[in-house]
Amino acid sequence: LKVTHLQFADDTIPFKEWTPANLSFLNFLFYEFGMISGLYLNPLKSSLVGVSVADSEVRRWASHLGWCNSTKLPLPYLGMSLDIRHPTKQAWKGILENIEHELRDWRADNISYRGRHTHVNAVLSSLPTYQMSLFRAPKGTLQEMERIKRRFFWAG
C-alpha cells in the first residue's frame, strides 16, 4: 500500500518523491485549485517537509514556492506527531489528553447508567478514530484509553 496523501476536513498532506518536477507540479496544483475554487493555502499554516533532504534545500524551495514555510519532522497533525517512525506512546499522549479533557466538564455521578454508556460509546470511543485508522496504537495506550473510559463509566 502506497500512501499518497492524508486528508481530514480542510487539512491535506500530500506525499511525493523530492524532485524539482514534483515540487513544481505541486505548486501548479495548488495554484490551479485556488483559481478554480477561490480557496488558497494559508502560508502561515502551510509547511514543506523534506525527508532525507538537506534543510537548506527545503528552505530554498519553501522560499521559492512562497506559500509555505520549511519545517522538520515530527510534524503535528490532528493532535498527533507525524514522523517517519511509528508513533510511540509519547506521540499518543495528546489523544489521551483529549479524552481526559472531554471528561472534565462531565460529572459522572449526575448522569444515569445509560447516559454514561452512551457517552463512552458515542463520544469517548470516537475521539481517536481517525488517528487509529492511520496508526497502530501501542498496547499501553489502548489500555490507558480503556482505563479512562471505565473510570468514567463506573464513577456514578
Q: Which residue has the higher pLDDT, 14 or 37?
A: 37
pLDDT single digits (tens) 3-18: 688 887 788 888 889 9
Residue 154 bridge partners (DSSP): none
The full set of domain ranges for the chain reads: 5-72, 93-153
Mind listing the pLDDT tens digit for each residue in 77-129?
777 777 777 777 877 888 888 888 888 878 777 888 898 889 888 888 888 88
> Does position 19 have pLDDT exceeding 80, yes or no?
yes
DSSP string, 63-100: HHH-S-EEE-SSEEETTEEE-SSPP-TTTTHHHHHHHH
What number of other Cβ atoms are within 10 A of residue 129's Cβ? 8
Q: What percent of the chain has pLDDT over 90?
A: 38
Say how many residues make up the chain: 156
Q: What are the tens digits of pLDDT across the range 68-77?
A: 999 998 888 7
- CB within 8 Å of 85: residues ≥ 6 apart: none
Burial (0-12, 13-18, 19+ Cβ within 10 Å), 4? exposed
